[in-house]
Chains A and B, each alone.
Chain A
Amino acid sequence: MTTKTSLLKVILLGDGGVGKSSIMNRYVTNKFDAHLFHTIGVEFLNKELEVDGHQVTLQIWDTAGQERFRSLRTPFYRGSDCCLLTFSVDDNQSFLNLGNWKKEFIYYADVKEPEKFPFVVLGNKVDVTERQVSSEEARQWCQENGNFPYYETSAKDATNVAVAFEEAVRRVLALDERTDHLIPTDTVNLHRKPRSAATCCS
């Protein structure tokens, strides 16, 4: 039996200060720092995991959330397998901006079929008591915008962080399987060795 490891690129997007870097660090290193340095440009970390028997290397790309750094982060959108749209439940503006983040991603990642692309929405900082965004609002947004899975996370106390990433992986794998079954028959197999008929004729 062959063990195949697939590399999946997952990108974290959302307003500045919603906790994207903290979510990534919690998931990869299981650490939390309340005063983590803000991100300039992009950073990434790898994490290996197994989901439903599939060996996966998750490459998590963390981005700078401030509007001004758009041109530093958008070149890295291409080739993403999944996008984690992140907001903070104690910051209504970050929730209102989810749509803009989705739009920016689809535009710069050059997604061919946006309606099929796997997005996962994370409402972070559920450990904070003063919420500005209710679960209902968030779920409704997810439902209306493409039926995205929604997770309420806390990078601080690790609530739902791993679960959310695993769901992201599942979404990507499910999509892969579907396309695997849908290979049109009139394509050319690029991996097949051409017959060596065309030898040098004199």
Chain B
Amino acid sequence: MAADSVLKVLFEHEGVFIHPSSDEDGTEQDLLISGSLRIVDKDAEVLVEYRPLEDTVDPSNMLCAGKDSSSVMEWDQCSREKSQQLLETQQSYETEWDMINAVSFKKKSCTNGEGSLNHSHERSRWAFSFSVSELRSVTVKEEGWTFLLLKLKESCSSLPALHFHQGGSTEFLDSLRRFALLSEAAGDDACLLVSSPNRALSQSFENLLDDNNFGLVNQKFRKDPYITTLGGFSKVTNYIFDAFRGTEEQHQRPPEEVADLLGEVIPGLEINQQEEPGFEVITRMDLGPRPEVRRGTALSTEDWSRHQDAEGRMMNVALLKQLIFKGGLCHAVRKEAWKFLLGYFPWDSTLEERKVLQRDKMYDLTSSWGQFISDEYFRMKLQWKSVSEQQERRNSRLRDYRSLIEKDVNRTDRTNRFYEGIDNPGLVLLHDILMTYCMYDFDLGYVQGMSDLLSPVLYVMENEVDAFWCFVSFMDQMHQNFEEQMQGMKTQLIQLSTLLRLLDLAFWNYLGKYNYSSVLV
């Protein structure tokens, strides 16, 4: 048994990639090897090590999240021996959102011995390690991201280029400078020549390549807000899947089957199923040529009534929605259809029930439903209407809401004939509905952007009460976007970032490099 070696990690960065296809013996096209680059002090010798992760998928790479600074990671040095723990602080890609809502996860060790899948053996051939004293030069290149070409003094075969898709090259070089002198080669700014204090070569490159005992870090998500994001991401998979298979057969499929199907449909797609049960993590995707999408014909009044049963309940709602999604609605149908689409009318309500609502424009109603809707609206409208000037002076929140609404009503769709000109009645309605909504949900009140949502609804409804209740239903769905914590918007931005990373890694990296990933996440 070898004596316990003292290992100190001086630098570590994950998300460093090798592009094997561009390598001489690369056979797998479009494969990226993701791994971790470290500088370690092992038995008083400084080594640079590259280890591919067990799978190309590294959950921590999925998002440019601020990682928990206290995250503990275990690196299994010798097989099943007591692992050495190291504290590692990862550089956070974004800081701004941290302040508002810290989203972070801890890296957790999981050092079971069952991880030795066939492909992990395959990947281990990309691992390498060398002493800093062996390093001859480092060439820094840019290709939307930074990649480094490392040359050793005595090796005739060059090491694979290291692609820093998630930044970190500067930090790596800075760390390297602590142990070696890097100086620009004459006539080539990009090439840094390495000179280091002479040290005995204790381990050869070839030796380490055979070292299969090098533990591979297996990371798992802790339960945290990111689960939500990955959940959303998983939905993307389902969405892509649906798009190709049609929505009818939406029963649950086993994940392997979904992966196979997706793999058939989308070449270049890699799906990892091992990482976290219940999630499929897509690591790479080539979308191929954009499918031709043709706009369908707009749904006419006749089409609409054809989807009603004898009592006026809407039938085949899923198909109906699909037709509307593809072709839109004739303007004549909108007033009716939007009430369903926005959630004001239940799809399974009868014509009789809806007629009650149609008559509901008047006060004198017999139906309890219509009565409620109408009375409720005017009751709430009266609430703010009856607030005297003196009262309002003492109610800063109502005053603020009113001031915001007045400012925004004056600048909402003013080129539309329904809102143009001075003292247009459309503006008064817009104002009154928004003020009444404040009474309906005083905690949320009025937030910019609401007037833009209400404006087309009011335009189509041409009726204050209907427009209000349609708006209320609409806001039920949009609520998150307007809340104080802006969780809805943040979730969408995280999803956008995830998609961007998947579809245009170079651009995503570019944003990260200039610190604009904080804008996306």
What is A's interface to B at a CB cutoff of 8 Å? 16-17, 34-38, 40, 64, 66, 68-72, 74-76, 78, 91, 93, 108, 193-194, 196-201
- The interface residues of chain B lying within 8 Å CB-to-CB of A40 are 448-449
What is the minimal beta-carbon distance from A201 to any residue of chain B, in angstroms?
7
Q: Which of B235-243, B342-350, B368-376, B404-412 contacts A (4 or more CB under 8 A)?
A: B404-412
- The interface residues of chain B lying within 8 Å CB-to-CB of A64 are 448
What is the minimal beta-carbon distance from B176 to any residue of chain A, in angstroms?
15
Q: Are B96 and A72 neighbours in the complex by a CB distance under 8 Å?
A: no
- The interface residues of chain A lying within 8 Å CB-to-CB of B447 are 66, 68
Q: Are A71 and B181 neighbours in the complex by a CB distance under 8 Å?
A: no
- The interface residues of chain A lying within 8 Å CB-to-CB of B407 are 16-17, 38
Known contacts A78-B515, A198-B181, A200-B193; is-contact A71 B96 (Cβ 8 Å): yes
Chain B binding surface, main DSSP class: mixed
| Contacting residues of chain B (140-178) with chain A, CB-CB under 8 angstroms | none
A65 nearest in chain B by CB position: B448
| Contacting residues of chain B (381-411) with chain A, CB-CB under 8 angstroms | 400, 403-404, 407-408, 410-411
Known contacts A16-B448, A38-B448, A198-B181; is-contact A68 B482 (Cβ 8 Å): yes
Q: Are B193 and A198 neighbours in the complex by a CB distance under 8 Å?
A: yes
What is the minimal beta-carbon distance from B422 to any residue of chain A, in angstroms?
10
Q: Are B449 and A71 neighbours in the complex by a CB distance under 8 Å?
A: no
A110 nearest in chain B by CB position: B95
A-B CB contacts (within 8 Å), total count: 74
Q: Is there a chain A Cβ closer than 8 Å to B414's Cβ?
A: yes
Cα of A40 to Cα of B489 in the assembled complex, Å: 12
List 22 A-B residue pairs with CB atoms under 8 Å apart, sorted by A's residue number.
A16-B408, A16-B448, A17-B404, A34-B410, A36-B411, A38-B408, A38-B411, A40-B448, A68-B484, A69-B486, A71-B96, A71-B97, A71-B486, A72-B489, A74-B96, A75-B97, A75-B516, A75-B519, A91-B403, A93-B400, A196-B184, A196-B186
- The interface residues of chain A lying within 8 Å CB-to-CB of B136 are 200
3 closest A-B pairs (Cβ-Cβ)? A17-B407, A35-B414, A198-B183
- The interface residues of chain A lying within 8 Å CB-to-CB of B411 are 35-38
Cα of A74 to Cα of B181 in the assembled complex, Å: 40
Cα of A40 to Cα of B181 in the assembled complex, Å: 50
Q: Which of B184, B404, B412, B519 contacts A16 (CB 8 A)?
A: B404
Excluding A75-B97, A93-B403, A198-B195, 16 further A-B contacts by CB distance (< 8 Å) are A16-B404, A34-B410, A35-B410, A38-B408, A40-B449, A69-B486, A71-B96, A71-B97, A71-B486, A72-B489, A91-B403, A93-B400, A193-B184, A199-B185, A200-B137, A200-B185
Known contacts A16-B448, A75-B96, A194-B184; is-contact A199 B489 (Cβ 8 Å): no
Q: Is there a chain A Cβ closer than 8 Å to B490's Cβ?
A: yes
What is the minimal beta-carbon distance from A66 to any residue of chain B, in angstroms?
4
Q: Is there a chain A Cβ closer than 8 Å to B3's Cβ?
A: no
Cα of A76 to Cα of B518 in the assembled complex, Å: 9
| Contacting residues of chain B (438-484) with chain A, CB-CB under 8 angstroms | 447-449, 482, 484
